[in-house]
Amino acid sequence: MSSPKRVFVPSVTEENGNTIGLGVFSSEETAWNVLRRFLRKSHLMALKRSDVVIWDVDIVGEDGMTVLSSMHCRDCPVCARRTFWIDLDTFSAMCTGVACEAWIEDSTIEPGKIDLGWPPTRFLKRVEDVEDALRELKNLGAELQAAGNTPSEPSHGF
Q: Is the pLDDT of residue 31 over 70?
A: yes
Residue type, position 73, single letter: C
The full set of domain ranges for the chain reads: 1-73, 75-148
Q: Quick: pLDDT tens for 56-104.
A: 998 888 888 999 999 999 999 999 899 999 997 778 999 998 789 999 9
Mean pLDDT of the chain: 89
Torsions phi, psi of 42, nearest 5?
Answer: -65, -25
pLDDT (tens digit per residue) in 91-130 = 899 999 878 999 999 998 999 999 999 998 889 999 999 8
Distance between CA 142 and CA 77 in Å, rounded?
9
How many other CB atoms are there within 10 angstroms of residue 8's CB atom? 22
| CA pair distance 43, 57, nearest whole angstrom | 34
